[in-house]
């Protein structure tokens, strides 16, 4: 289980900065893994990064971004293949890192479905194959299309390659649904991998690092004849679009797959509950070395399909499944130095520079140290961590690779501390601009006081502006932003959109950019085209890109959906700023009524819109960029489409989470508090102040049965 003790004490600003940094790092690893089939870290390291990000987002839900790595899947499809849009999104799985996490998974299911302790939760437990996800579309039993997962929404058409895999049948046997999309994993056995690598080496060909890379690279060959030469296999474990399911349980569908001629993992097993699932997990872990192919954990899935449908998905992950990962590893190395990184909000973060050490085949050379208290051996609550042992340069430290930001320094061996090693002290000045670095009361970090005058902060905000979840300007990444800053070409977002015009007419912009090292005419032309493609963007993307403190991608989307247009939002925030002495003014209250928006976030948004310097920069940007009005997608026949609904009190026939999820699926906006904008209050037993306020405002109120009648779920 992740060590996240320090998260509770982080301010929202610090958490937002770490969320931004982690998101960028994970996206880079997604690109390497899913598009280039060339991962730069192990699965355990990657899982650790995501686990830390999830923990931060759980502590600060307002920071959850719509395309946060925890809310999205994979990476955009690679060039060279026809694109296939998945009719049912291909989701990723949440992770459990120990028995406690696994039991929490079952507990969440019980809470969501309102189950009693006596109600059994039957599961299917199966090995988590370390390969490449693939979707096979059969119509009338005949294979018509095969697609990789890609970003979960759109993948690559690899049909010709999939047809060369012996364990993928061209035709299914027996009685099958008219349409059936089978999902599973393409992999390579250890023996086949070794034999293939030996043959490749003998003829001077490419030697793969591991079976997963070999399988992915083989499946994604543009020439299917090369794929046919590679010893690929396929395990089926799930499905997407289907005209009619052949069973009402997960285990029943797996049995059908076997009967239809598909290969299913022989270790997949139906179990009666989480304790039996854990027993099966330990049995698979014990046999891991003898399976003959790579696995990195065991997946638990709710067996009843009607329960799977009720549980649904949260962002990119189904609520009815979880991957219980195998334990990570540790190693000892020497702490050679502690450097300071400055983030876009000015936070100074100590970073460990480690003597390179191999942990499970991965070379580890640096790690985050969070803040000065963590280095000193104190937790966010002021209590000792590591039994109060501080970290000093020259120390021999223990590095842990999973369950947190990976790698993480978790302990120090005092018996090997060098003589004369002195306690480390956080600098009181910014290492970039030399401005005072101030730690305010109640804060866990020091922060550069120079604002955007500090080059580090300005550059980091520009990196955020062009990042994938924000403006997503292809070809303008971290290195390019830093280079353009150094050349004094881009100092604020508006400068990006005037690059071409400032470089001059008649193609001189293209020539000037293409003359830089690493650029050519084609890449320069592509960049200008990518910039032009972002001259009109959805409102929620612009809001997130502006870097407003505490506003993550999810919050930006909620705000965009609530206000609809930039003009309406700006007018409301300007009015809220003008009435700042009245915290109960209607504009601030409307912002607070958005589910997931708290007082700290609301005040940060209002402060941003009240800042003349910030708004002047936005005005310069909006001369070149047009924010598109946000149009919510709603169910055509929904009686609550577009309405703002608030739930209060105890619901007895479904959990609050299930009720909210159902309302959102019908196109309703779920708010956390009652305001004049509320259309409907659903009140269960124990409803208090929200019910009284709704009655005073004359808002329609229903009990749970009335709500179920209204939406047709009675």
CA distances 203 to 377, 428, 568, Å, are 55, 59, 66
Q: 3-state DSSP: the chain helix, strand, coil percent, rounded to 5?
A: 40, 20, 40
Q: What is the pLDDT of residue 33?
A: 58
pLDDT tier at 99, thresholds 50, 70, 90: very high
Q: What is the pLDDT of residue 453?
A: 82
**Packing angle of the helix pair 612-621, 599-610 (nearest 10 deg):** 70
Q: What is the pLDDT of residue 632?
A: 59
pLDDT > 70? residue 698 = yes
Q: Which residues pair with 536 in a beta bridge?
A: 626
Q: What is the pLDDT of residues 302-325, one digit of tens each?
A: 999 999 999 998 767 899 999 998
Q: Which residue has the higher pLDDT, 638 or 63?
A: 638
pLDDT tier at 519, thresholds 50, 70, 90: confident
Instruction: Say how many C-beta atoms besides its own lie within 10 A of residue 648's C-beta.
Output: 22
Q: Which of 226-235, 345-354, 494-503, 626-635 is the least confident region?
A: 626-635
What are the helix (H) ranges across 31-146? 43-59, 99-113
Q: What is the pLDDT of residue 53?
A: 81
Q: What is the pLDDT of residue 146?
A: 96
Task: Identify the H or E element spanning 661.
Answer: helix 656-665
Active-site option among 128, 325, 463, 643: 128
Count H helices and E strands in the chain, helices first: 26, 26
The Cα–Cα gap between 661 and 71 comes to: 16
The Cα–Cα gap between 411 and 398 comes to: 5
- 596 and 558 Cβ atoms separated by less than 8 Å: yes
Average of pLDDT values for 182-210?
89
CA-based max dimension of the chain: 82
Q: Which of 20-34, 328-342, 503-517 has the highest mean pLDDT?
A: 328-342
Copy the structure tokens of residue 525.
């032309």
CA distances 215 to 38, 210, 218, 230, 326, Å, are 11, 9, 5, 8, 22
Q: What is the pLDDT of residue 586?
A: 85
Q: What is the pLDDT of residue 2?
A: 46
179 burial via Cβ count (<10 Å: 0-12, 13-18, 19+): middle
**Reduced 3-state DSSP string for 614-653:** HHHHHHHHCCCCEEECCCCCCCCCCCCCCCEEEEECCCCC
pLDDT tier at 508, thresholds 50, 70, 90: low
Percentage with pLDDT > 70 across the chain: 89
Q: Which residue has the tokens 């942990």?
A: 359
Q: Which of 130-134, 209-213, 238-242, 302-306 is the least confident region?
A: 209-213
Q: Which residues pair with 334 in a beta bridge?
A: 396
Q: Which of 9-13, 15-19, 139-143, 573-577 is the least confident region?
A: 9-13
Mean predicted lDDT score pLDDT of the chain: 86
Q: What is the pLDDT of residue 621?
A: 96
Q: Which residue has the higher pLDDT, 586 or 508?
A: 586
> Is 128 one of the annotated active-site residues of the chain?
yes
The Cα–Cα gap between 697 and 707 comes to: 19
The SS3 call for residue 62 is helix
The Cα–Cα gap between 343 and 339 comes to: 13
Q: What is the pLDDT of residues 217-262, one digit of tens each?
A: 889 888 888 888 899 999 999 999 999 999 999 999 999 999 999 9
pTM score, whole prediction: 0.58
pLDDT tier at 395, thresholds 50, 70, 90: very high
pLDDT tier at 128, thresholds 50, 70, 90: very high
């Amino acid at each position: 289980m992740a060590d996240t003790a320090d998260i509770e004490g982080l301010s929202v600003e610090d958490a937002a900065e770490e969320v931004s940094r982690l998101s960028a790092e994970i996206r880079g690893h997604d690109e390497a893994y899913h598009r280039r089939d060339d991962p730069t870290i192990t699965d355990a390291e990657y899982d650790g990064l995501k686990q830390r990000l999830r923990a931060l987002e759980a502590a600060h839900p307002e920071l959850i971004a719509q395309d946060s790595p925890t809310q999205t899947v994979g990476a955009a499809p690679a060039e060279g293949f026809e694109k296939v849009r998945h009719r049912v999104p291909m989701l990723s799985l949440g992770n459990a890192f120990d028995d406690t996490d696994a039991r929490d998974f079952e507990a969440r299911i019980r809470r969501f479905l309102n189950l009693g302790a006596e109600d059994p939760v039957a599961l299917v437990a199966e090995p988590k194959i370390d390969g490449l996800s693939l979707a096979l579309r059969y119509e009338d039993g005949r294979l018509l299309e095969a697609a990789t997962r890609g970003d979960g929404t759109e993948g690559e058409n690899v049909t010709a390659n999939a047809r060369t895999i012996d364990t993928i049948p061209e035709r299914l046997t027996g009685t099958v649904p008219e349409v059936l999309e089978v999902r599973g994993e393409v992999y390579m056995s250890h023996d086949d991998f070794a034999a293939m690598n030996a043959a490749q080496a003998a003829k001077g060909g490419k030697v793969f690092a591991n079976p997963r890379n070999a399988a992915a690279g083989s499946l994604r060959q543009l020439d299917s004849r090369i794929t046919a030469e590679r010893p690929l296999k396929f395990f089926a474990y799930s499905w997407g679009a289907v005209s009619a399911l052949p069973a009402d349980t997960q285990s029943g569908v797996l049995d059908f797959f076997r009967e239809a001629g598909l290969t299913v993992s022989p270790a997949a097993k139906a179990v009666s509950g989480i304790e039996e699932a854990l027993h099966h997990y330990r049995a698979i872990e014990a046999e891991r070395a003898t399976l003959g192919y790579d696995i990195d954990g065991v997946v638990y899935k709710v067996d009843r399909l009607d329960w799977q449908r009720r549980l649904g998905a949260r962002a990119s992950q189904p609520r009815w499944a979880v991957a219980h990962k195998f334990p990570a590893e540790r190693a000892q190395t020497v702490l050679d130095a502690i450097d300071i990184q400055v983030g876009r909000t000015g936070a100074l973060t100590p970073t460990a520079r480690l003597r390179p050490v191999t942990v499970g085949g991965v070379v580890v050379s640096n790690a985050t140290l969070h803040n000065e208290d963590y280095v000193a051996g104190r937790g966010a609550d002021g209590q000792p961590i590591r039994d109060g042992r501080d970290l000093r340069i020259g120390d021999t430290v223990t590095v842990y690779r999973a369950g947190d930001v990976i790698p993480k320094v978790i302990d120090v061996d005092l018996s090997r501390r060098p003589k004369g090693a002195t306690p480390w002290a956080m600098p009181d000045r910014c290492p970039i601009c030399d401005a005072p670095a101030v730690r305010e009361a109640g804060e866990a970090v020091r922060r550069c006081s120079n604002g955007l005058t500090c080059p580090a902060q300005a550059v980091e905000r520009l990196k955020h502006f062009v990042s994938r979840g924000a403006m997503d300007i292809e070809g303008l990444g971290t290195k390019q932003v830093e280079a353009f800053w150094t050349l004094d070409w881009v100092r604020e977002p508006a400068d990006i959109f005037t690059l071409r015009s400032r470089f001059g007419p008649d193609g001189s912009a293209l020539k000037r950019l293409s003359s830089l090292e690493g650029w050519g005419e084609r890449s320069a032309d592509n960049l200008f085209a990518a910039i032009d493609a972002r001259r009109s963007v959805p409102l929620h993307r612009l809001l997130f890109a502006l870097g407003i403190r505490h506003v993550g991608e999810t919050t930006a989307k909620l705000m965009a959906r609530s206000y609809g247009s930039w003009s309406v939002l700006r007018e409301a925030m300007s009015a809220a700023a003008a009435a700042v002495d009245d915290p109960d003014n209607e504009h601030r209250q409307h912002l607070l009524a958005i589910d997931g928006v708290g007082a700290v976030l609301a005040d940060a948004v209002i402060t941003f819109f009240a800042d003349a310097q910030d708004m002047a920069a936005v005005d310069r940007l909006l001369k070149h960029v047009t924010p598109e009005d946000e149009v919510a997608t709603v169910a055509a026949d929904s009686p609550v489409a577009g309405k703002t609904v608030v739930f209060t009190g105890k619901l007895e026939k479904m959990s609050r989470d299930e009720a909210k999820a159902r309302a959102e699926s019908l196109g309703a906006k779920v708010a956390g508090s009652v305001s004049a904008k509320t259309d409907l209050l659903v009140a269960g037993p124990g409803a208090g102040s929200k019910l009284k306020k709704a009655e005073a405002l004359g808002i329609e109120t229903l009990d749970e049965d009335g709500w179920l009648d209204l939406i047709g779920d009675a």
